Amino acid sequence: MSHQQNKQTKTKTTEQKKSIPEHLQGMNKEERRQYYQNLHSKKGKPQKKPQKQKQQKKTETNKGGSNVPEHLKGMTKEERRKYYQKQRELSGGQQQKQQKQQKQQKNKKVQKKQAQKPKKMTKEERKKYYEQLNKQKQEQKKNWNQNYQQGKQKGQKSQDNKQKQKTQTKQKETQKKQPKTNKTQQLSDPRTRTLTSITSHISPFQQPTTKESGVEFSESVIHPLTIELSLKFSSGKIGGTTGRCIALLNLLKILIREVTVRARFSEDVVKMLNRNLDYLIKHRRFSYTMFSVIRTVKEWVSRVDSLEVKEAKIKICSQIDEFLRKHIYDAEEEITEIAWKKIKPGDVILVYANSRVIEKILKKAHQNEISFRVVVVDSRPMNEGKKLLKKLDNYGIKCSFCELNAISYIIKEVTKVFIGVAVILSNGSAVGRIGTAIVAMIAKRSRVPVIVCCPSFKLSKKVQLDSLVSNEHGDPKKVLTTKNSKSVKIQNLPSDMDVICLLWDVTPIKFISLVITEYGLLPPTSMQVLIREFKDF
Amino acid sequence: MDKIQSPIQFVVLAGGTGSRFDTLSSDIPKPFLPVANKPLLQYVFEFLCKSNVPKALVVTHSGLQQRIHKIAEKLSIEIDITTVSPDLGTADVLREIASKIDRDFVVISGDLITNVPLHEIADIHRVSGSAMVMLLNEENEENSKKIRKDKLVSKHFVGLDKDRVAMFLSSFDSGKSVKLRKPFLEKCSEFELYSNMTDGHLYFFKHWVLRLIEKKKKSISSIQGDLVPLLVKAQFNPKIAKRLSKYSQEEQYPNFKGFSSLEEEVGTENQQFNIKCIAYKTPRDLLCMRVNTFNSYLRANFTLINGNPFFSREAYRYKTVYMHKGFKIQEGDEIENSLLGKELTISGTKNVINSVIGENCTIGENVKIENSIIMNNVKIQDGCQIIDTVIMNSVILEENCRLTQCTVRINQTVEKDTNTKNYIFGEESFY
């Protein structure tokens, strides 16, 4: 203290001579100090300056002045020690409670709430409370009208306030939700609809048009026949696997005939083929047989470089003709010759959807004067059974018709089931039009033999355990509409709902009893042998 | 890469005389009649441009070639013009151009205004393998209001079996009644008969139809009158189908008969000859108008005032009014639903409702214009009232005229204080 006083005196000695008022020049320091103190105490002013001095004294007494927290500054060391001991003794929750209580005592709002809480009452107080309530109710009954209208006005005000709040919240919500609603709108548009997770790996259905590809009326690199074929494939006019193969092969013949070769034959032809086939694939995916056919034709093209252009073209066209004859037309004839003998008089034969081979079998059996009748089963989306029905009717065969939902009733009358197929896999199961698996399953359960007829070029080395692994989407409108009922529009469906329309399915080997190829009658377990031994391509 | 020619060729017939509205077409040749301040032919060219058609063959009278070239230069389309005498029918015209057509072709008449997606009709043509695809338009009662007397126009009775045209009779041949026979109805699965269908005169034909036209010179002279009914009858009549089978079964590629053996359809009779005629109905939102009568000309103007985004327009829009730079609308003006051309000056308060005004017009004060069409270089002086009239180029109307349902021909001056209805200025009426 003495040091500080000396410091203060040093600073003041320099300034003292300048700034001392006149009426105090005669006095010493101590006298001046007492004078000023008397002044302040007499007038009764708030004692700020002495308080400051007090605080300065306290900070001067405590050495660790700057590090003390605010709520503990008023205490001395010993008091602080006791405070911290208390906190160590208590657990963490109780510390927080104590802190909360201390804060609450400062807050005025909390004090109000505590005052509003119901206090515990004794019996007498409760009696008085309820007496007062009854009095109020009796008064309300007398003055109900006035109270009603008062309540109305209050209610309207509160409702107005609520509506304002609602609209405000709605505006905020819509501002937040707008990106989400766009997704739902995208879902409802059938073309951009993202399908469910099971079928999401299958590309969605595209309407058949030419505008998307940009090839319409101008000169192009793509042959007009490919454009025609692409529309026919995608619209379903040329439908079955053998039909599509035949159309493809004819197309390839014409394309190869009309190519102008500048450099090497194989390169130019392969480029030209790739352009046209890329265009075809966009509109509808190829089946397995079509891929294998294209592969073989490209192999032939690559082996023909040694010859001249004209001879090469002739050679390839003749090879394609031979393929058609050997694997498709002759094979179908041999199958019919083997298979029609399996039909015995009095048989009732069940047929599902359309197949070229089966139509020929039934025609031949009818020509050889066997009395039998046919049940044609049909289903959406493709409704191909009606085409078969019309043809069989023209040949003079007795037919009846039903849809897939009635098959469990019809199967009681049936003696044999003939099925056409798209691909036979190496594990013996068959990929066919959607619904064949159901037909085969029900036939197996009713102990009716299931006979699959297919030429050998439909055999493949692939294996597929599941119908969903590779499949194709069809037009969803065909699933939603039927002629007699009102159609459900895709736009009217709720946004969470998707329409799945698959075209192929796999019938497992246990439902098939016999496979007829041009090599003869075989059980389905020996398909692997056929592929290994007899397949050329 | 070798480019292969497109398999479809386009033919535009712009050689009509406009015989059904003499008054307008004798002064201005029909392909250049302004519809919403644009020449008629330009609509056809814009339609072809937007469908990405690179080339077209155009058939006109002599003397109009340069103006047609000008119209086509603005748009990105190549044109090959041939001149033909005005006496010929539409099929005779095709016979003369036959050397230039070597593929499937499309015939469009030059007075057609449409919005229709051409590629859809082309897809139908490709997929179905039909001999003919035609464009049909169903008319509502609203559109058939008539302000003028029309010369006789043939109505058609159209019978449709889903997409197929089962019947196409003109009212000249059959009168007001139509006979349907039972065996005919049994061949169709669904039959609907329409009397309010108009033919859009847009046909997709196969190449063998040209051969047919070339050989039968006497019996086929107009497409709508002779060719179309012939083809429609051949679908159900085996005798006619046999006669046409010479032409219809030519092979485009050697040893290749097409994919028709692979296609399987339910309900087709006469599978041997297999001629088909298919109709494409315009969807309800889209336009399809032919401008071959007075009333259709008025109707075309009034529907196109309100801007169709398919067709281009150089004007600015203010509510329902289309106008050019420099024209200001002030308070107190009543302008609704109208199209105003360049360099228009109207003095005083403006009162223009539901009308089309061309370029370079000067209009005076207190002039009321309603439901009317005014072409270029017209001067209208104060106090006129013009209702339901058509005023052609460079006309002067003096003060206080009142015209309702009139037409004023080129270079006429209408004197003061004329008050007329249903009169044609500048010519003795033919009616």
Mean per-residue pLDDT over chain B, rounded:
84
Per-residue pLDDT band for A417 (boundaries 50, 70, 90) equals very high
By CA distance, what is A221's nearest residue in B?
A: B3
Transcribe A123-185 into DSSP letters: HHHHHHHHHHHHHHHHHHHHTHHHHHHHHHHHHHHHHHHHHHHHHHHHHHHHHHHHHHHHHHH
Residue A450 · residue A514 · CB < 8 Å: yes
pLDDT tens sequence across B343-382: 888 888 888 888 888 888 888 888 888 888 998 899 988 8
Distance CA A318, CA A313 (A): 9
* Nearest-CB residue to B8 (from A217, A253, A254): A217
> Which CATH architecture describes the domain B314-425?
3 Solenoid (2.160)
Question: What's the average model confidence in pLDDT over B67-95?
Answer: 88
Q: Pairing relation of β-strands A347-352 and B192-194?
A: unpaired
Distance CA A382, CA A503 (A): 8
> Which CATH architecture describes the domain B9-303?
Alpha-Beta Complex (3.90)
At A347 the pLDDT is 93
Which residue reads 């034909």 in tokens?
B205
Distance CA A226, CA A207 (A): 17
For the packed helices A356-367 and A241-257, what is the interaxial angle rounded to 10 degrees?
Answer: 110
Residue B372 · residue B388 · CB < 8 Å: yes
Q: Which residues of A117-147 are buried (b: 16+ CB within 10 A; e: fewer)?
A: eeeeeeeeeeeeeeeeeeeeeeeeeeeeeee
Contacts of B67 (CB under 8 A, 6+ apart): B32
* Nearest-CB residue to A386 (from B126, B253, B266): B266
Question: What's the average model confidence in pLDDT over A412-422?
Answer: 95
Mean per-residue pLDDT over chain A, rounded:
80
pTM: 0.73
Q: Prior bond to A345 cis, omega within 30?
A: no
pLDDT tens sequence across A153-175: 777 777 777 767 776 666 666 55
Distance CA B250, CA A370 (A): 41
pLDDT tens sequence across A203-256: 777 777 777 666 677 777 888 888 888 888 888 788 888 999 999 999 999 999
At A349 the pLDDT is 96
- Side chain identity at A361, as an amino acid letter? I
Contact: A260, B123; criterion CB under 8 Å:
no
pLDDT tens sequence across A247-298: 999 999 999 988 888 888 888 899 999 999 998 888 888 888 899 999 999 9
Element (H, E) at A357: helix A356-367
**A210 near B CB under 8 A:** yes
Chain A residues close to B267, C-beta within 8 Å: 390
Distance CA B133, CA B276 (A): 9
Question: What's the average model confidence in pLDDT over B199-204?
Answer: 91
Sheet containing strand B424-425, strands side by side: B316-318, B321-323, B339-340, B356-357, B373-374, B390-391, B407-408, B424-425
Higher pLDDT, A68 or B343: B343
Chain B residues close to A218, C-beta within 8 Å: 6, 52-54
pLDDT at residue B238 greater than cutoff 70: yes
* Nearest-CB residue to A219 (from B6, B253, B256): B6
Q: Give the tokens for residue A320.
A: 């394609």
At B6 the pLDDT is 80
- Side chain identity at A533, as an amino acid letter? E
Residue A514 · residue A339 · CB < 8 Å: no
**A207 near B CB under 8 A:** no
Question: What's the average model confidence in pLDDT over A342-371?
Answer: 94
Chain B residues close to A210, C-beta within 8 Å: 119, 122-123, 126
At A43 the pLDDT is 59
CA angle B52/B57/B58 to nearest 5° reads: 115
Residue B412 · residue B391 · CB < 8 Å: no
**A318 near B CB under 8 A:** no
How many C-beta neighbours within 10 Å does residue A415 have?
14
Distance CA B132, CA B406 (A): 42
Q: Give the tokens for residue A50.
A: 């002495």
- Side chain identity at B290, as an amino acid letter? R
Chain A nearest C-alpha distance from B119 (Å): 6
Chain B residues close to A239, C-beta within 8 Å: 264
Contacts of A382 (CB under 8 A, 6+ apart): A236, A239, A353, A433, A474, A478, A503
pLDDT tens sequence across B381-409: 888 888 888 888 888 888 888 888 888 88
Transcribe A413-428 into DSSP letters: T-SEEEEE-SEE-TTS
pLDDT tens sequence across B161-189: 888 888 898 877 777 778 888 888 888 88
**A241 near B CB under 8 A:** no
pLDDT at residue A459 greater than cutoff 60: yes
Element (H, E) at B373: strand B373-374
3-state secondary structure (DSSP) of residue B388: coil
Contact: B259, A218; criterion CB under 8 Å:
no
At A517 the pLDDT is 93
Chain B residues close to A238, C-beta within 8 Å: 259, 262-263
Give the number of beta-carbon pairs within 8 Å between A and B: 84
At A59 the pLDDT is 45
Chain B residues close to A216, C-beta within 8 Å: 6, 51-52, 118-119, 122
Q: How many residues does chain B have?
A: 431
Domain ranges of chain B: 9-303, 314-425
At A96 the pLDDT is 67
CA angle B259/B264/B270 to nearest 5° reads: 90
Contact: A220, B127; criterion CB under 8 Å:
no
Question: What's the average model confidence in pLDDT over B197-203?
Answer: 90
Cα–Cα distances (Å) from B87 to B60, B63, B67, B222, B392, in that order, read 12, 16, 22, 12, 27
Chain B nearest C-alpha distance from A505 (Å): 23
Chain A residues close to B262, C-beta within 8 Å: 238, 243, 246-247
Residue B388 · residue B370 · CB < 8 Å: yes
* Nearest-CB residue to B263 (from A222, A237, A250): A237
3-state secondary structure (DSSP) of residue B15: coil
| CA atoms lying within 13 Å on the CB side of residue B129 | 21
Chain B residues close to A260, C-beta within 8 Å: 2
Cα–Cα distances (Å) from B390 to B1, B256, B386, B417, in that order, read 55, 58, 9, 18
Distance CA B186, CA B49 (A): 43
Per-residue pLDDT band for A190 (boundaries 50, 70, 90) equals low
* Nearest-CB residue to A209 (from B6, B119, B266): B119
Question: What's the average model confidence in pLDDT over A73-77?
Answer: 80
Contact: B3, A227; criterion CB under 8 Å:
no
Highest mean pLDDT among B3-17, B47-61, B318-332: B47-61
By CA distance, what is A383's nearest residue in B?
A: B266
Bridge partners, residue A81, by sequence: none
Question: What's the average model confidence in pLDDT over B137-141?
Answer: 82
Question: What's the average model confidence in pLDDT over A398-422?
Answer: 94
3-state secondary structure (DSSP) of residue A202: coil
For the packed helices A123-142 and A144-188, what is the interaxial angle rounded to 10 degrees?
Answer: 90
Which residue reads 């005023």 in tokens?
B391
* Nearest-CB residue to B7 (from A224, A237, A247): A224
Which of A209, A211, A217, A238 is best to mutate for the B interface (most B CBs within 10 A)?
A217
CA angle B124/B129/B51 to nearest 5° reads: 35
At A31 the pLDDT is 85
Per-residue pLDDT band for A178 (boundaries 50, 70, 90) equals very low
Per-residue pLDDT band for B151 (boundaries 50, 70, 90) equals low
With CA atoms as reference, report the closest residue to B36 among B364, B326, B378, B312.
B312
Contacts of A471 (CB under 8 A, 6+ apart): A199, A202, A502, A503, A504, A505
Q: Do domains B9-303 and B314-425 have the same CATH topology?
A: no
Higher pLDDT, B176 or B217: B217
Q: Give the tokens for residue B241.
A: 């189908």
Contact: A238, B263; criterion CB under 8 Å:
yes
pLDDT tens sequence across A4-60: 444 444 444 544 456 778 777 778 888 888 888 888 776 555 545 444 444 444 444
By CA distance, what is A258's nearest residue in B?
A: B253
**A306 near B CB under 8 A:** no
